[in-house]
Structure 1
Amino acid sequence: MRALRFASPLALGLALLACSPEDTPGDEEAETDTDTGAAQTCLDTDTPGEDIILASDADIEEAALSGCVAEHVIVSGGGITSLAGLSELRQVGILDIRYNPFLDSLAGLEQLERVDQLILTGNNLLIELPEFPDLALGRATINANDGLTDLGSFPATTSMSRLEIDSNPALTDLSGLESLTGVSGNVAITNNAMIVDFTGFEAFTAIGGDLEIIDNAELDTLEGWGLVSVGGDVRVSSNPKLSECLAQAFIAMLEVGGAKIESSNESGLCD
């Protein structure tokens, strides 16, 4: 990972001006709707500038990010204890919150409306995510958060382009993503020691890419997932409490566009 740096006030000012709601007379195109019917924002029209790296609470306060920010915002460091200073932020290109040893809450981010990519990695004091009532996620990586037990709630996220939930040893289920109906790319649910089923995925019916369900130590059923089709490969393997027969039956009932792989689950549990 590159050395942490805090973007200059000039660069931050330019980024914020680019996302200003005050359009010039030649900006009519930026006001047109997207294919989904939603109004375009800076995430659709602006070229992201340099990464904005926030390594302390003071950096967050100085940056004073608000509205729409197209850049990759990296929040990382021992000086981060609160995200309250990001409460005016509404849309972000990439929001990357990683390796913050003293951050125990995402309070301050509840008003987010759109994040094209969310990364939550290595925030070991983080116990639960808040409710994000209006947040539409594009893609998400939630991994290596040792204390995380609860994904919070994302009722406005109905589709995504990629989802990875990996190596969260205290996470017990996938509740919080109940509104998700499909992911156009890959999905990986791997190495989550306490997940026992797929509660929370009842409405999730389609994956366009690959599906991996691997190394989940307590997973003993695939119930709870309303999955119907996977466009790429399906791999269900190395889940020591999951019956090999259940894994085979789960894959068999899916419409699969690629390879079907099941191995190293518990063969002794087959009837």
Structure 2
Amino acid sequence: MSRKYLSVLVSLIALFSVNTQASVTQQHSEQVSAAKSTVIAVFEENTVNPKIFYKVGNIAKKQISWHQVIEIGHGKSPDVVITPDSNTVFLTYVKPSSNNLSQVIVKRGDINNGRVRWQSERNLLPKDVYGVSPKILVDEKQVTLSWQDIRSKKKQDTIHTLLGNLTSHDIINWNSKSQLVKSAAMLKPSSLLLTNNSTSVPDDICKNGVLTIFPELVLRSQDDVNYFGQKYKNCHYINSKDVQIAYSDISDLSPLSGINEIWGDLDIIQNDSLESLSGLDSLTTVSGDISISKNAKLANIGALTNITHVFGDLDLISNPLLTDITGVNNVTAIEGNMVIHGNGIAAIDNLNSLTRIGQDLTIGGVVDGGTADSEFLKSIEGFQALSYLGGDLEVSFNDNLTSIKGFSNLNTVNGSFSIEYSDKLQDLQGFSSLAEVNKDFEVSDTSVTNLDNFSKLQKVGGGVTVTNDSKLTQIESLKNLLLAKGSLYVSRNKSLKSLEGLNNLGLIRVSDDNTRLMLQDNTSLSDCSAICGIYNDLTVNKIIGGNGDGCTTSLKNCR
């Protein structure tokens, strides 16, 4: 969950009070809950030697007003809790020690006017603790610290907890010894969970409707699902890094009908008997990624209609019987990536409430090292409200795709634009509002006859590639394209007769790039005079050959 400046690893943790529970606006990959009117977020910088940052927010009228981001220092894997009175914060993270191990650190700070006054650089733990993935929890009387000991060969059985009593002045009196418990990776009647102050499954694990499980909640059998529904039917909010319904014989999710929010990722992966997501109908919020993939019999995701905002990625991958995705038709924003790949969908004619995708949109493409083999998808007419795309747009490896008529409101692609390896694509009437692509622009390996719907395209921040489009006869609608910061490749378009449309295009040489004009093997191309300006530019390297007879003559006349 990402990604440019701050890593996806974000913890927003506080305790609910019965009288002060607040509904807050969540952001991409953030897990949000509130103590009275204060919330705190910690972030890990995504670098080789990461630093940790924090910011404090005030909650009012169901919105968070954030103060500035402040650096704490070097470290990684941060986790944070606020005491129930909202006056004190405890932070845990790991940092390299002198013996090249990851040392767990706990710090205490006082919250005042949007800042935290850290009490000491001193580690509050009574002894040196080495491990990864520390988690800290607090209630009115006790603090629980958990971590994974990476020095053991059996990592799945090396989670430790250390308990401490919380005094009236928010000072921790730690117990002298930690406890070794089993991993919290599997929730079963015999499982041990790292939750609150216990290393077993207590009856009161669910506080004010919040079930906290670290590092993840995994349901891998129908018995797991049934047990969860019976034991935790009043737990409406799941506070966990990842909820997995995966690698199982699960066929019925109705025991999960009480879940309203998941404060982490939701993975529904490789469930061979699952035909429907019915049971998740009450789910309104997933604060991380939603991944639905490799479910051999899944045909219905209509239960997700109450989700309107995806705070991470949304992946629909390799569900061969999934022919209808109206279950996500009410989603208005996806803060991460969206991937639609290898399903049984014949037409994407919906998703017309979606206005924003924060990162990449991939339809088809290459996932997990393989192409889609998308034999069913024939048309894309949806995405009509999409106006913002923060990353790349890729439509590729769709063997039977014949028509794209969607994306009528998309003005800017902030990454690359590519439509390729879809050799039956003839009707490209979408993208009628597209004016700017901030990286590369490519239409290749299709059967389109023209690029008429790109008449508003003015600027490309990378190279322009039009190759191996066997039925393309003209590109006149590119006449408003003025600028490309890279190379121009026009090759193997055997029906292309003229470059009219590129008259106004200028190439800007990028300092660390070898800017090229590649004009090759367009066997019917007889008029190349439209690119005289580029041809006469001495800073552009030219590779020209194999075109129609008139092309070479027209270029000579450019001099």
Question: For this structure pair, what is the TM-score category when the shorter chain's length is used for normalisation?
Answer: 0.7 to 0.9
Residues 233-262 of structure 1 show CA distances to partners (whole Å, capped at 9, x for unaligned) of: 11111001114x949x95994410111122
CA contact (8 A) 1:209 1:232 kept: yes
CA contact (8 A) 2:380 2:404 kept: yes
How far apart are the structure 2 equivalents of 1:211 and 1:258? 11
Letter in 2 for 1:268: S
Letter in 1 for 2:272: P
Aligned residue number for residue 111 of structure 1: 282
Residues 154-195 of structure 1 show CA distances to partners (whole Å, capped at 9, x for unaligned) of: 354211122111111x21122442210110111100133322
Match status 1:77 vs 2:268: no
Against the structure 1 CA distance between its residues 62 and 34, is the aligned structure 2 distance closer, same or farther, given a 3 Å change threshold?
A: farther
CA contact (8 A) 1:234 1:251 kept: no
Tell me by how many angstroms 1:74 deviates: 0.6
CA contact (8 A) 2:278 2:303 kept: no
Tell me by how many angstroms 1:117 deviates: 1.3
How far apart are the structure 1 equivalents of 2:62 and 2:440? 32
Letter in 1 for 2:397: D
CA contact (8 A) 1:154 1:176 kept: no
Aligned residue number for residue 472 of structure 2: 270
Could you tell me which runs of 5 or more consecutive residues in structure 1 were left unpaired when the two chains were aligned. 1-16, 40-44
Could you tell me which runs of 5 or more consecutive residues in structure 2 were left unpaired when the two chains were aligned. 1-12, 22-33, 40-56, 66-79, 82-134, 136-212, 365-371, 448-468, 474-559
How far apart are the structure 2 equivalents of 1:197 and 1:225? 12
Q: Tell me how large the CA RMSD over aligned residues is.
A: 3.2
The residue correspondences of 1:2-41 to structure 2 (distance < 5 A) are 22=18, 27-30=36-39, 32-33=58-59, 37=63
How far apart are the structure 2 equivalents of 1:263 and 1:156? 32
Match status 1:240 vs 2:414: no
1:61 is paired with a residue of what secondary structure? helix
Match status 1:148 vs 2:313: no
Letter in 1 for 2:289: Q
Match status 1:68 vs 2:242: no
How far apart are the structure 2 equivalents of 1:123 and 1:166? 13
Tell me by how many angstroms 1:79 deviates: 2.7
Aligned residue number for residue 157 of structure 1: 331
Against the structure 1 CA distance between its residues 186 and 172, is the aligned structure 2 distance closer, same or farther, given a 3 Å change threshold?
A: same
- Higher gyration radius (CA): 2
CA contact (8 A) 2:330 2:351 kept: no
The residue correspondences of 1:193-212 to structure 2 (distance < 5 A) are 193-212=375-394
Against the structure 1 CA distance between its residues 35 and 246, is the aligned structure 2 distance closer, same or farther, given a 3 Å change threshold?
A: farther
Letter in 2 for 1:199: E
Which stretch of the first structure deviates more once superposed, 27-36 or 218-227? Answer: 27-36
Tell me by how many angstroms 1:269 deviates: 3.3
How far apart are the structure 2 equivalents of 1:231 and 1:96? 28
Against the structure 1 CA distance between its residues 204 and 74, is the aligned structure 2 distance closer, same or farther, given a 3 Å change threshold?
A: same
Aligned residue number for residue 215 of structure 1: 397
Match status 1:97 vs 2:268: yes
Tell me by how many angstroms 1:217 deviates: 1.5
Residues 36-69 of structure 1 show CA distances to partners (whole Å, capped at 9, x for unaligned) of: 9489xxxxx8777211110011112223453221
Aligned pair partner of 1:228 in 411, 416, 420: 411
How far apart are the structure 2 equivalents of 1:19 and 1:197? 48
Against the structure 1 CA distance between its residues 130 and 219, is the aligned structure 2 distance closer, same or farther, given a 3 Å change threshold?
A: same
2:380 is paired with a residue of what secondary structure? coil
How far apart are the structure 1 equivalents of 2:58 and 2:401? 46
How far apart are the structure 2 equivalents of 1:21 and 1:214? 50
CA contact (8 A) 1:134 1:155 kept: no
CA contact (8 A) 1:19 1:69 kept: no
Against the structure 1 CA distance between its residues 118 and 175, is the aligned structure 2 distance closer, same or farther, given a 3 Å change threshold?
A: farther
Letter in 2 for 1:259: D
Aligned residue number for residue 56 of structure 1: 221
Greater relative contact order: 1 or 2 (C-alpha under 8 angstroms, separation 6 or more)? 1
More strand by share: 2
Aligned pair partner of 1:258 in 423, 439, 443: 439
How far apart are the structure 1 equivalents of 2:327 and 2:285? 14
1:99 is paired with a residue of what secondary structure? strand
Aligned residue number for residue 4 of structure 1: none
Tell me by how many angstroms 1:144 deviates: 0.7
User: Structure 1 vs Structure 2: percent identity of aligned residues?
Assistant: 23
More helix by share: 1
TM-score, length of structure 2 as denominator length: 0.40
CA contact (8 A) 1:151 1:175 kept: no
CA contact (8 A) 1:103 1:123 kept: yes
Match status 1:132 vs 2:304: yes
